[in-house]
Amino acid sequence: MKKQDMIDSLLALGVKRGMLTWRELNDAFPAEFFPLEELERLLRLLEELGVKVVDSGEKRKRKSRHSHSEFRRQGL
């Protein structure tokens, strides 16, 4: 699946549910293939569409680069 198709699918899912989880974002867009700048643009678009990004509530064995607290520190 192309990157734009993945973005479109994730946006549609987020709009339908009104939310996405950080885990869904991390799974769809791994840090090594999806630059932080692109993720920031996606997060702004989600916000404009009224889609919230929430914690999944699952404990992770390793901390993800795209954590909620990281974006809060950056003012996003």
13-59 pLDDT, tens digit each: 999 999 999 999 988 888 888 888 988 999 999 999 999 999 976 43
Query: How many CB atoms are closer than 10 A to CB 66?
Result: 19
Choice between 46 and 71, residue whose per-residue pLDDT is larger: 46
What mean pLDDT is predicted for residues 49-72?
A: 62
Determine the pLDDT at residue 44.
Answer: 96
Total domain count, the chain: 1
Q: Looking at the predicted structure, is the pLDDT value of residue 76 above 80?
A: no
Determine the pLDDT at residue 45.
Answer: 94
Q: Looking at the predicted structure, is the pLDDT value of residue 74 above 80?
A: no
Long-range CB contact pairs, 30-33, < 8 A, 24+: 31/64, 31/65, 31/66
Which structural domain, as residue segments, surrounds residue 7? 3-73
